[in-house]
């Protein structure tokens, strides 16, 4: 379907009737490279509305023939924009360097969900591929009209449409449409976010025709980082801007009862903003804002300490009434299988609250004016962040512009969006643009957390050692105490402090493995949050939400089953799998690592340092990862060195192997960190993980010697995600390797030296 | 408030500020040098690292009053696209960074190491970089880049 505006709005020259379709808009030949250019053009009423059913919402050809790709997702630091540029360049038949990907700007892109669920390429790239293919189709049709040659006798090289038989018969994209907007309607599925899909009539290229997709193209944003010229959201400076800092209650749930404004009167320009439970300060200079926040004398309401002793957290989870119960999958008759079992194996695993602990604590800049609100944001979901600012201020979304900026890695719903909400409230109160950056203690002390949980797994084994029944049960805090974006006040700290209740929703999940046991049940239960208002232990999505904990349990337990029946862990897995791609990933990792078939644990080691190997595998939304970990355990100190990893990774078609390798390395390192070190500490009153000493992460002295990879490229398959899948099996691979080395099964994360030493004692 | 003459990346700047204010805020807000970054304000992560007379220091805890006449060099002053420091070149070639927020700590600390030690061993590199934080997990790339830079420096 194409859209026709009033004919009178078009100059004759710019209208081309192609197959009954009016395909070109009019307009001044403006440069579209920058968002500013787009605004200028729109002000002339030239651009079609910024809606998902318009091709112009995704692709524009500039006057010089260069391509702007407007992408409604963001890149949380893994170089996604390079892959998107490759996809767009490929479909349009332009050089890679001719494409600029403009990400996450609410003024120039539609809401494709931001960074979310490793869908940047899987969904976002799919849409950009379809849009670019449609743009090429439309341009070729226009050229057909212009050259008087049927479209099927034309081809495109480097942005020039020419006759297949005679390259002299040609017209460039720049000449056809450069500087004007497409006016082509797409078949939008009426969804926004990750599920947005709006193809045109064009079919994308066959993979055998790909020349740019699949190439190792380096990202070009490393140079500005190392030369110190990259602008992060933290670097935004707006005329008249003041600095804000927040004051959080010392006991979670307490509110400021009395605020002594006089206590900061010696600090130049310092002002208090106190609304309900919301308490912040602003000052012209950043250091003064920090001093004011530290100096301000506040009397807090008496609030009963809301948390259990940390040592009792797993008992709390076991005993708490389930708020919601969901059976994810059930086949066969599980209860009967257990009744008839020769033997039952059972184990329980525990996973702590974990923090995003972003390098840069949350930061945002908001300028609230009567006619317009601007938010400079490092939120992974800039469109939702814009919506949140509109909602917390009570202004129409159309009045708010979200400018997406580079920030430190988020790894899910971190505190970057919360900082924007705080800045919005402060800016409205003081009538100036406000920059808020949290201090370190807020960065780990108050970001949304990955939920703590327990996982009880049992297997029914028959007399011949076959698994005839299996049950995987999880119980924990929901992963959605606050939703995965900050679009509504009840999802934000500022909203909670202003009085919006925390609306915890029920969501957990089940392992994604594809083992085919005859009688199998997976289920989960969620429990209420520990505090029903602004809480430093409220949960939300942390990289691969609940994936590491579910597969820590399920992939540890399959080794426990293998051990119970004297089977090799690789062979045992393959026995229960039929999916060829799943089996191939496991076999590839095993083979590349030099896996020797035998039963765990090793029994040939003496001395204080022992070594072992372990395997784990997990699918995630179409991607399959298998990992072999090799570890050294110092039995005296309890220290684990995860020395070597071999990763087999199948995410369908690989767009950029270089980007993928870096992405996998980051997943493995962060996965080791979460397994060996990470646990949010808290006491009865508050979170006590408030810096890098109290929330330790993996140190460079502990990094592996080697991370080997087997990239299982499937060019004929659609690309799936890579941002999270390879973190998923890391904990279990390490746990299985530790068992292989020591004969001791560790079922609680993190495997800190103290805990390992205790387990080995 | 007091006046300070700061020598940063070869130029002298005058800053009027609280003597207790950490150097980081003068660099970022008074001098407009967007790197280094605030990461912790506690000297625990390294995102704010600059050189003070060639030695890597944490600008987030270094009060202005302690800077004196020392020469401050930020990552932006280490090299330029035209005349890059070998570490900057190696970082680009090895495609090290993800978000890049931590880069100051690693690059400036490694630059100080390589200035004093030719061809350091793997253990020496790791030991020099101990304690610096990178949340994206680019550690493997950092080590590759430091080794590559060491080779470039001969």
Q: What are A63-75's pLDDT values in tens digits? A: 999 999 999 999 9
B133 touching chain A per CB within 8 A: yes
Test A227 with B81 for CB contact under 8 angstroms.
yes
A285 in contact with chain B, both atoms CB, cutoff 8 A: yes
Size of chain A, expressed as the number of residues it contains: 761
**pLDDT for the residue numbered A76:** 87
Locate the chain B residue with the closest alpha carbon to A672.
B137
The residues, ordered by sequence, that sit 6+ positions from B47 with a Cβ below 8 Å of its Cβ are A359, A360, B36, B37, B38, B39, B40, B101, B102, B104, B105, B133
* Phi, psi angle pair for A612, to nearest 5°: -160, 170
Cα separation, A298 vs A666, whole angstroms: 42
Single out the residue of A170, A177, A176, A84 nearest to residue A132, CA to CA.
Answer: A84
Q: Do B97 and A225 touch (CB under 8 A)?
A: yes
In chain A, which stretches have pLDDT less than 70? 1-46
* Partner residue facing A440 (CB), from B42, B75, B129: B42
A707–chain B Cβ distance below 8 A for any pair = yes
A670 Cβ under 8 Å from any chain B Cβ: yes
For B50, which residue in chain A has the nearest alpha carbon?
A228
Cα B117 to the center of its chain, rounded Å: 17
Of A79, A221, A360, the CB nearest to B37: A360
> Does the beta-carbon distance from A665 to B41 stay under 8 Å?
no
* Helix or strand (DSSP H, E) at B128: helix B122-129
3-state secondary structure A151-218: HHHEEEECCEEEECCCCCCEEEHHHHHCCCCECCECCCCCCCHHHCCCCCCCCCCCHHHCCCCCCCCC
The DSSP line for B46-102 is -TTEEEETTEEEETTS-BGGGTTTPEEE-HHHH--SSS--HHHHHHHHHT--SS-TT
Interchain CB distance below 8 Å, B44 and A407: no
Q: Is A287 on the interface with B (CB under 8 A)?
A: yes
| Among chain B residues, CA nearest to A411 | B136
CB pair distance less than 8 Å for B98 and A407: no
Would the CB atoms of B87 and A359 count as touching at under 8 Å? no
Dihedral (C-alpha) A490, A496, A499, A503: value to the nearest 10 degrees? 40
**Do residues A372 and A399 make contact, with C-beta atoms less than 8 angstroms apart?**
yes
| A229 in contact with B, Cβ within 8 Å | yes
Q: Is A666 on the interface with B (CB under 8 A)?
A: yes
> Sheet of A623-634: strands edge to edge?
A609-620, A623-634, A639-650, A706-711
Burial bucket for residue B10 (CB in 10 Å: 0-12, 13-18, 19+): exposed
Contact criterion met (CB < 8 Å) for B47 and A226: no
Contact A228 B75 (CB under 8 A): yes
Confidence (pLDDT) at A46 = 67
- B84–A227: do the CB atoms touch at under 8 Å? yes
A208 touches chain B (CB under 8 A): no
A103 closest CA partner among A229, A276, A236, A221: A221
Which among A482, A451, A478 is positioned nearest to A351, based on CA atoms? A451
What residues of chain A lie within 8 A of the CB of B39, using their CB?
359-361, 408, 440
B38 interfaces chain A, CB cutoff of 8 Å: yes
Q: How far apart are the first and last CA of chain A?
A: 71
Provide, as residue numbers in chain B, all residues whose Cβ is less than 8 Å from the Cβ of A219.
95
Number of neighbouring beta carbons within 10 Å of residue A220: 13
Helix axes B139-153, B122-129, angle to 10 degrees: 120
Task: Quote the DSSP letter at residue A408.
Answer: S
Beta carbons of A356 and A366 less than 8 angstroms apart: no
Of the candidates B141, B148, B142, the residue with the CA atom closest to the CA atom of residue A661:
B141
List the one residue out of A353, A694, A380 whose CA is nearest residue A548.
A353
Contacts of B140 in chain A (CB under 8 A): 665, 669, 703-704, 707
What is the pLDDT confidence band of residue B154, given thresholds at 50, 70 and 90? Answer: confident
Inter-chain CB proximity B88 and A227 less than 8 Å: yes
- Quick one: angle between helices B86-94 and B139-153, nearest 10? 140
Q: Which A residues 401-420 touch B at CB under 8 Å?
A: 406-409, 411
Which chain A residues are within 8 Å of B107, Cβ to Cβ?
226
Give chain B's end-to-end CA distance (angstroms, integer): 47
Nearest to A222 among B95, B102, B142 (CB): B95
The pairing of strands A609-620 and A520-527 is unpaired
Structure tokens given for A138:
């439309």
Tokens of B96: 């090290």
DSSP A86: H
What are the tens digits of pLDDT across the range A308-362?
999 999 999 999 999 999 999 999 999 999 999 999 999 999 999 999 999 999 9
Rounded Cα gap, residues A363 and A360, in angstroms: 8
pLDDT of residue A681: 98
Note whether B137 and A673 are within 8 A (CB): yes
Assigned token pair, A539: 């949960």
Please report the beta strands in A621-722, taking only residues with DSSP state E, as ranges in sequence order: 623-634, 639-650, 706-711
Helix, strand, or coil (residue A135): helix
Query: Would you call B143 and A700 a contact, using CB atoms and an 8 Å cutoff?
Result: yes
Q: Which residues contact A594 (CB under 8 A, 6 or more apart)?
A: none
> Nearest 5°: CA angle at A151, between A146 and A156?
85
Model pLDDT, residue A752: 96
Using the Cβ of B152 and the Cβ atoms of chain A, whether some distance falls under 8 Å is answered with no
Dump pLDDT digits (tens) for A385-425.
999 999 999 999 999 999 999 999 999 999 999 999 999 99
Asked if the Cβ–Cβ distance from B137 to A406 is below 8 Å, we say no
B23 CB near a chain A CB, below 8 Å? Answer: no
CB contact under 8 A, B135 and A231: no
A723: distance to nearest CA of chain B, Å?
11
- Verify whether the Cβ–Cβ distance A691 to B129 is below 8 Å: no
Cβ of residue B101 closer than 8 Å to a chain A Cβ: yes
Interface test with B, best of A226, A437, A641 (most B CBs within 10 A): A226
Helix, coil or strand: residue A453: strand
- Say which residue the tokens 């926004």 belong to: A192
Token digits of residue B70 = 């020392």
Instruction: List all residues of chain A from 122 to 181 with a beta carbon under 8 Å from chain B.
Output: none
């Amino acid at each position: 379907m194409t859209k026709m505006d009033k004919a009178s709005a078009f100059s004759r020259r710019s209208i081309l009737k192609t197959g009954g379709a009016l395909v070109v808009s009019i307009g001044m030949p403006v440069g579209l490279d920058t968002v500013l250019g787009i605004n200028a053009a729109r002000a002339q009423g030239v651009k079609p509305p910024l809606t998902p059913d318009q091709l112009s919402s995704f692709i524009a050809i500039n006057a010089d023939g260069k391509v702007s790709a407007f992408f409604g997702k963001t890149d949380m630091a893994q170089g996604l924009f390079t892959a998107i540029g490759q996809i767009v360049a490929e479909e349009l038949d332009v050089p890679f360097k001719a494409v600029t990907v403009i990400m996450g700007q609410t003024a120039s892109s539609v809401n494709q969900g931001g960074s979310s669920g490793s869908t940047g390429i899987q969904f976002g790239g799919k849409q950009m591929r379809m849009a670019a293919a449609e743009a090429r189709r439309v341009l070729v049709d226009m050229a057909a009209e212009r050259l008087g040659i049927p479209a099927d006798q034309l081809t495109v090289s480097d942005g020039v449409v020419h006759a297949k038989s005679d390259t002299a018969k040609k017209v460039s994209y720049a000449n056809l449409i450069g500087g004007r907007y497409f006016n082509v309607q797409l078949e939008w599925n009426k969804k926004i976010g990750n599920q947005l899909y709006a193809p045109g009539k064009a079919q994308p290229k066959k993979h055998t025709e790909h020349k740019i997709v699949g190439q190792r193209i380096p990202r070009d944003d490393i140079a500005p980082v190392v030369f110190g010229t990259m602008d992060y959201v933290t670097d935004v400076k707006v005329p008249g801007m003041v600095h804000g800092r927040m004051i959080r209650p010392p006991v979670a749930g307490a509110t400021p009862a009395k605020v002594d404004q006089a206590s900061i009167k010696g600090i130049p320009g310092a002002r208090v903003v106190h609304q309900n439970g919301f308490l912040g300060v602003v000052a012209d200079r950043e250091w003064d804002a920090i001093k004011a926040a530290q100096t301000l004398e506040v009397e807090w309401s008496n609030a009963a300490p809301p948390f259990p002793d940390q040592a009792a957290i797993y008992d709390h989870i076991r005993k708490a009434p389930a708020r919601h119960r969901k059976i994810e999958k059930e086949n066969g008759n599980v209860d009967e299988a257990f009744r008839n079992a020769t033997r039952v194996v059972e184990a329980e695993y525990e996973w702590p609250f974990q923090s995003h602990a972003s390098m840069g604590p949350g930061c945002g800049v908001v300028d609230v004016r009567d006619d317009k609100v601007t938010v400079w944001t490092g939120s992974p979901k800039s469109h939702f962040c814009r919506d949140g600012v509109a909602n917390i201020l009570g202004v129409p979304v159309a009045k708010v512009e979200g400018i997406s900026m580079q920030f430190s890695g988020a790894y899910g719903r971190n505190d970057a969006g919360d900082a924007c909400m705080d800045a919005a409230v402060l800016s409205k109160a003081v009538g100036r643009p406000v920059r808020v950056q949290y201090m370190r203690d807020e960065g780990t002390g108050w970001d949304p957390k990955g939920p703590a949980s327990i996982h009880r797994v049992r297997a029914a084994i028959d007399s011949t050692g076959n698994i005839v029944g299996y049950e995987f049960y999880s119980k924990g805090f929901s992963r959605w105490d606050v939703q995965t974006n900050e679009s509504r006040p009840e999802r934000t700290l500022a909203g909670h402090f202003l009085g919006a209740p925390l609306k915890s929703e029920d969501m957990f999940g089940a392992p994604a493995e594809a083992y085919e046991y005859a009688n199998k049940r997976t289920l989960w239960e969620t429990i209420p949050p520990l505090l029903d208002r602004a809480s430093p232990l409220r949960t939300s999505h942390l990289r691969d939400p609940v994936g590491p904990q579910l597969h820590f349990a399920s992939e540890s337990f399959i080794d426990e089953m293998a051990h119970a029946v004297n089977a090799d862990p690789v062979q045992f897995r393959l026995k229960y799998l039929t999916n060829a791609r799943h089996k191939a990933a496991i076999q590839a990792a095993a083979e590349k690592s030099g896996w020797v078939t035998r039963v765990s644990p090793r029994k040939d080691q003496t001395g204080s340092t022992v070594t072992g190997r372990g395997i784990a595998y997990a699918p995630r939304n179409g991607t399959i990862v298998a990992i072999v970990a090799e570890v050294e355990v110092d039995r005296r100190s309890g220290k684990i060195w995860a020395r070597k990893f071999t990763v087999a990774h199948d995410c369908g078609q690989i767009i950029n192997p270089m980007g993928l390798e870096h992405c996998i390395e980051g997943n493995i390192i962060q996965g080791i960190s979460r397994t060996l070190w990470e646990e949010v500490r808290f006491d009865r009153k508050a979170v006590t993980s408030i810096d890098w000493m109290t929330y330790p992460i993996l140190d460079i002295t502990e990094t592996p010697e080697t991370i080997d990879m087997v990239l299982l490229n499937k060019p004929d398959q659609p690309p799936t995600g890579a941002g999270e899948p390879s973190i998923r099996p890391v904990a279990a691979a390490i746990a299985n390797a530790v068992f292989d080395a020591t004969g001791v099964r560790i079922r609680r994360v993190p495997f800190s030296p103290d805990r390992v030493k205790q387990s080995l004692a | 408030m007091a006046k300070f003459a700061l020598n940063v990346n070869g130029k002298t700047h005058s800053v009027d500020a609280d003597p207790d204010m950490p150097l980081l805020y003068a660099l970022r807000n008074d001098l407009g040098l967007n790197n280094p970054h605030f990461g912790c304000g506690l000297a625990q992560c390294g995102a704010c690292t600059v050189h003070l007379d060639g030695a890597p220091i944490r600008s987030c805890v270094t009060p202005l009053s302690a800077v004196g006449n020392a020469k401050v060099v930020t990552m932006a002053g280490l090299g330029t696209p035209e005349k890059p420091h070998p570490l900057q070149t190696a970082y680009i070639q090895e495609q090290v960074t993800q978000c890049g927020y931590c880069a100051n700590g690693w690059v400036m600390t490694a630059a100080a190491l390589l200035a004093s030690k030719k061809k350091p061993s793997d253990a020496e590199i790791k030991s020099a970089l101990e304690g610096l934080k990178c949340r994206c997990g680019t550690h493997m790339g950092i080590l590759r880049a430091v080794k590559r830079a060491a080779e470039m420096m001969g």
